[in-house]
């Protein structure tokens, strides 16, 4: 069986024929991921549920999934695993990841698990484990879950301690009401026209009542989707040019393409300009600076344009590791709620357009206020065993005053910077760079891509 990877020191208890192999860790950049019903099977989920319950030992765990059948199947298996170690279970039904986070936090639960499809790879499922605040569990908790999982040392509960799961009705409706609470009267009176593209099967139950409550005029750009799994995110990227043209043609105040689980989105301003990734981060930071000042919390990959904006408003920028847990943690410490809008597309949509309506400006006006920036990205195949060596050698090659080691290796140059970041899920290193021009950004990315390849061949 070729092309299988089994990490050194891993104990193989199950067949690796149908999967890609085994690693000594389960968690990646966003929870636990794997091929649906191939790597993420009911048996795997039940065992993982038992491991998660064993970490908490007692309390109530909330579970939910997106609206697709295989996700519901995996959720059911997770529930069985949690029950087997004596945990109480509250079932939120189907919905989005932000709805799950809201429910765990507002119902005062011990933690939770949400099962969803990966929109980047529609063959993969992701299991998102949350703490009592609705944030992704800490790395320390991830390690404990993995230890229980691999040791299979679960304290099975006696029959008298196994309780039936409790279904909580009305969670989706409560989440919609919480979103309405973010809106200002200015937004309700503005009757904004928005063009939206989203998966109706999972998001329709949130978007439709939300638009009705806030008086939004919504132009749907949706197509009939699959009832089995969501469309790949790349499909949405492919139709962006046509979508942008539709926003302008309809005379809309803006548009949004929202991923199937409501985690993130691409905005389009009234002039048809795309706002995504780093520009979206900059827009959220700008709204925060204008509304309440600093600090603003951004990942280490964010552009220097945010520092320029913060300087203009005399505020501090807090940079975190690229991992979601670190952004959550620092945002809560700094009381920088806007950083959490990175993980809730509908909340971000309401917050941004509430601000523009209150200020009497357009989304395009905000885009114009963000200084121009130039970023480039690359990825280099690097085996799991040699990632550490590559990072160590890059650190040794440069003077300490040119380095920043918040996450990976960030090297500062006179006209820009480059960040080399090992990927926790794939055998690659990712190269991010920024320059005073696109040419400089590209040359920095190319230089470090070439340097990593040279190291691997030495």
Identify the CATH number of the domain in which residue 413 sits.
3.30.310.50
Least confident of 22-26, 65-69, 122-126: 22-26
Contacts of residue 163, defined as CB under 8 A and 6 or more positions apart, other chains included, come to 83, 88, 89
- At 231 the three-state DSSP class reads coil
pLDDT category of residue 6 using cuts at 50, 70 and 90: low
Same domain, 134 and 91: yes
Say how many domains are in the chain. Answer: 3
Same domain, 104 and 119: yes
pLDDT category of residue 414 using cuts at 50, 70 and 90: very high
Total number of residues shown for the chain: 458
Same domain, 85 and 197: no
| Pairwise CA distance, residues 339 & 342, whole Å | 6
Looking at every residue in the chain, the average pLDDT score rounds to: 92
Q: What is the CA radius of gyration of the chain?
A: 23
Same domain, 196 and 135: no
Structure confidence by residue, pLDDT tens digits, 380-412:
999 999 999 999 999 999 898 899 999 999 999
pLDDT over 90 for what percent of the chain? 82
Structure confidence by residue, pLDDT tens digits, 118-153:
988 989 999 999 999 999 999 999 999 999 999 998
Which pLDDT does position 352 carry in this prediction? 97
Same domain, 198 and 298: yes
Structure confidence by residue, pLDDT tens digits, 220-246:
998 777 788 899 999 999 999 999 999
- CA dihedral 392→395→397→400, nearest 10 degrees, is -150
| Pairwise CA distance, residues 416 & 448, whole Å | 13
Checking if the pLDDT of 19 tops 80, the result is no
Same domain, 379 and 365: no
Same domain, 253 and 354: yes
Domain extent for 213? 174-369
Which pLDDT does position 328 carry in this prediction? 86
Same domain, 240 and 107: no
Which pLDDT does position 339 carry in this prediction? 66
Same domain, 228 and 321: yes
Checking if the pLDDT of 287 tops 90, the result is yes
- With beta carbons less than 8 A apart as the criterion, state whether 110 and 141 touch: no
- CA dihedral 135→140→144→147, nearest 10 degrees, is 130
- With beta carbons less than 8 A apart as the criterion, state whether 171 and 91 touch: no
| 369, 402, 418 - which closes a domain | 369
Element spanning 101, H or E = helix 97-106
- What are the counts of helices (DSSP H) followed by strands (DSSP E) for the chain? 16, 20
Same domain, 361 and 378: no
Which pLDDT does position 8 carry in this prediction? 56
| Pairwise CA distance, residues 290 & 352, whole Å | 11
Structure confidence by residue, pLDDT tens digits, 170-190:
999 999 999 999 999 999 999
- CATH number of the domain to which 326 belongs: 3.40.120.10
Nearest CA to 375 out of 429, 309, 435 is that of 435
Least confident of 13-22, 278-287, 308-317: 13-22
| Pairwise CA distance, residues 54 & 61, whole Å | 12
Q: What are phi and psi of 100, to 5 degrees?
A: -60, -50
Same domain, 364 and 381: no
| 329, 345, 369 - which closes a domain | 369
Least confident of 250-259, 321-330, 408-417: 321-330
Checking if the pLDDT of 446 tops 90, the result is yes
| 346, 369, 392 - which closes a domain | 369
Same domain, 288 and 400: no
| Pairwise CA distance, residues 215 & 347, whole Å | 16
């Amino acid at each position: 069986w070729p092309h299988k990877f089994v990490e050194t020191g891993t104990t193989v208890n199950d067949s690796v024929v149908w999967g890609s192999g085994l690693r000594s860790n389960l968690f990646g950049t966003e929870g636990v991921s794997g091929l649906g019903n191939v790597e993420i099977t009911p048996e795997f989920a039940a065992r993982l549920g038992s491991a998660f319950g064993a970490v908490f030992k007692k309390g109530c765990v909330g579970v939910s999934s997106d609206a697709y059948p295989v996700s519901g199947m995996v959720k059911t298996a997770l529930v069985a695993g949690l029950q087997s170690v004596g945990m109480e279970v509250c079932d939120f039904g189907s919905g989005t990841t932000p709805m799950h986070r809201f429910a765990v936090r507002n119902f005062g639960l011990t933690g939770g698990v949400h099962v969803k499809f990966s929109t980047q790879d529609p063959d993969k499922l992701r299991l998102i484990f949350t703490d009592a605040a609705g944030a992704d569990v800490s790395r320390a908790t991830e390690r404990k879950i993995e230890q229980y999982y691999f040791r299979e040392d679960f304290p099975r509960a006696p029959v008298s301690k196994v309780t039936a799961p409790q279904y909580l009705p009305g969670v989706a409706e409560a989440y919609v009401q919480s979103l309405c609470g973010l809106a200002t009267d200015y937004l309700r009176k503005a009757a904004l026209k928005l063009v939206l593209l989203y998966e109706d099967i999972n998001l329709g139950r949130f978007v439709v009542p939300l638009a009705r409550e806030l008086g939004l005029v919504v132009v749907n750009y949706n197509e009939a989707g699959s009832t089995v799994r969501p469309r790949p995110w790349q499909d949405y990227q492919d139709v962006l040019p046509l979508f942008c043209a539709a926003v302008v043609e309809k005379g809309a105040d803006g548009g949004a393409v929202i991923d199937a689980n409501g985690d993130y989105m691409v905005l389009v301003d009234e002039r048809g300009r795309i706002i995504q990734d780093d520009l979206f981060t900059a827009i959220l930071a700008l709204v925060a600076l204008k509304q309440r000042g600093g600090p603003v919390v951004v990942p280490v990959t964010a552009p220097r344009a945010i520092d320029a904006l913060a300087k203009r408003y005399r505020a501090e920028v807090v940079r975190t590791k690229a991992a979601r847990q670190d952004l959550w943690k620092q945002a809560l410490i700094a009381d920088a709620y806007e950083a959490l809008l990175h993980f809730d597309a509908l909340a971000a949509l309401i917050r941004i357009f509430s601000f523009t309506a209150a200020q009497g400006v357009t989304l395009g006006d905000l885009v114009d206020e963000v200084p121009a920036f130039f970023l480039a990205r690359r990825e280099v195949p690097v085996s799991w065993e040699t990632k550490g060596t590559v990072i160590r050698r890059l650190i040794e090659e440069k003077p300490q005053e040119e380095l920043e080691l918040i996450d990976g290796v960030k090297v500062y140059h006179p006209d820009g910077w480059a960040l080399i970041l090992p990927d926790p899920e794939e055998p690659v290193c990712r190269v991010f760079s920024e320059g005073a021009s696109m040419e400089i950004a590209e040359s920095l990315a190319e230089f470090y891509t070439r340097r990593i390849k040279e190291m691997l061949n030495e």
